[in-house]
Amino acid sequence: MVRMLERENQTETRNVNANLEDLHTLVSRLRATSGNDIDDQTIEAISEATGALPEYVRVALLNTGTQEKGKTNFRDYYMSLDPAMRRYVGAAVLASVAGFAQAISHNRWDFSGLFGIFTLVAIFVAIWNAVNAPNRRIATLSGIIFGGLSFFGMAVFVALAGMLQRFMPGPITPVNGPMMILLWSALGGGVANLAYGIFAKTSNKLGLKSEKENRQELLSQLMELQTKLRSNEQEMCFVSLDIVGSTAMKTNSDALAVEFTFNEYHKYVEQIVVKQGGRIHSTAGDGVTCAFETPAKAFAASRQIQAGLFELNLHRNKLGTPIRLRAGIHFGKVVSPDGTVENVNFSEVIDIAAHLQKACPEGGIVISNEASRLVPDPNAFSSEIMKVDTVMARVWRPRHTIEASTLQPSDGIA
């Protein structure tokens, strides 16, 4: 029972990771196609299409902005906030502008009327901020915040002007009693509430789409985009190979012997991989990642590579220290940008294969349960089972080993 629960938890964890990976991919594609113009309705549509919470979508939006541009701009931070909080922040910023402009106009320092225009613009933008709120309550609260903070901001700027009165062009007109802040707040909330109601009733007459229609349209676009993304999805098996103690092997060794031996090793691995119907996905240092269509072929290639190391070490290893390998195998779904396995770079399947390889004993193979179930010979593995991170895996060990002492150190390349 405990093992069943453990497997269910592991499956759920991997599904969550896969969904988050899909979410980041979807947000990145939407950024590219929409010129980074992602609004609340798009976020809600992504949430419905992927099943992720809107909060996760906003975090993904912030993260993809950081990854793609190297830094996150103000819009990314703003869009990562909760929709209600964005309305409140917008109302507060606009109130600061309106409060400063009103303080200038209140004391007749605005001889051109420019600051009066700023006040009107701030009021109209605040109304627009309110009518675009998710609901009437948030719209009303944003209006209250704008009205109250406008009066408070005006009072603050007038107070500062009083402290610097000798630098001002004329006498300072005091602001009316502090209780006026309640009137301004009520006025702001009332106007916002009224504007929200009027906009909701007239939006259809003006030819504007309702929120439901916009969301449905976005959902259709998202489903089409997801279909395109899924078209490059395929199940692949990856083998991660790494040489044990490769740094020590190279230390104090002849540079030409090192180059020759490791080139021979890479050719040896590639030859077996291709023979088993696989391909080299990538190489990094002494590590090699191979891709196969099925776990059976991946396992067969890994066993052949481990078994043939004796011949490689005996005839083509010029370092005097035998090459020993660790191998990790995992199977799962991957998505390639252009449908080719070589361009799969960021995949949980490859990461898990690498983690299994690091936990593998020398000369052995660690294969995840997902992959081992698809290997025809279940008796090929030992009874040893290990857990790597959240992945359960089985172990293959060679039945017979040849001691390293049988290898004769070789001097030079010839």
Average pLDDT over residues 324-328: 95
pLDDT score of 62 more than 90: no
pLDDT score of 392 more than 90: yes
Average pLDDT over residues 322-335: 91
Distance CA 148, CA 181 (A): 5
Decide: residue 298, CB within 10 A, 0-12 exposed, 13-18 middle, 19+ buried.
buried
User: So where are the chain's domains?
Assistant: 2-80, 83-225, 233-406
**pLDDT value of position 7:** 45
pLDDT score of 106 more than 80: no
> 286-318: per-residue pLDDT in tens?
899 999 999 999 999 999 999 999 889 988 999
**pLDDT value of position 412:** 42
> 168-201: per-residue pLDDT in tens?
555 445 556 667 888 888 999 999 989 888 887 7
Task: Return contacts of 2-9, CB within 8 angstroms, 24+ apart.
Answer: 6/392, 7/392, 9/390
pLDDT score of 79 more than 80: no
pLDDT score of 405 more than 90: no
**pLDDT value of position 303:** 93
Q: Find how far residue 412's CA is from the centre of its chain.
A: 49
Decide: residue 36, CB within 10 A, 0-12 exposed, 13-18 middle, 19+ buried.
middle
User: Pairing relation of β-strands 233-243 and 325-335?
Assistant: antiparallel
Q: Global pTM? A: 0.49
**pLDDT value of position 49:** 58
Distance CA 155, CA 153 (A): 5
Q: Find how far residue 245's CA is from the centre of its chain.
A: 34
Q: Which of 66-70, 115-119, 300-304, 386-390 has the lowest mean pLDDT?
A: 66-70
Name 369's Cβ contacts closer than 8 Å, sequence gap at least 6: 391, 392, 393, 394
| Tokens read off for 351 | 């990461």
User: Pairing relation of β-strands 279-284 and 287-292?
Assistant: antiparallel
**pLDDT value of position 182:** 85
| Tokens read off for 122 | 């701030």
Q: Which of 3-17, 313-327, 364-378, 380-394 has the lowest mean pLDDT?
A: 3-17
Q: Which residue has better confidence, 149 or 16?
A: 149
User: Pairing relation of β-strands 391-396 and 287-292?
Assistant: unpaired
> 87-101: per-residue pLDDT in tens?
888 889 999 888 888
> 227-274: per-residue pLDDT in tens?
655 556 788 899 999 999 888 888 888 989 999 999 999 999 999 999
CA-based angle 112:113:118, to the nearest 5?
130
| Tokens read off for 3 | 């093992």
Give the residue among 326, 335, 240 at the shortest CA–CA distance from 291: 240
Decide: residue 51, CB within 10 A, 0-12 exposed, 13-18 middle, 19+ buried.
exposed
Task: State the amino acid at position 148 in one-letter form.
Answer: G
CATH superfamily of 233-406: Nucleotide cyclase, GGDEF domain (3.30.70.1230)
How far apart, in Å, do the first and last CA atoms of the chain sit?
60
pLDDT score of 38 more than 70: no
> Where does the pLDDT of residue 285 fall: very low under 50, low under 70, confident under 90, or very high at 90 and above?
confident
Distance CA 344, CA 56 (A): 24
pLDDT score of 68 more than 80: no
Sign of CA dihedral 296, 297, 302, 307: positive
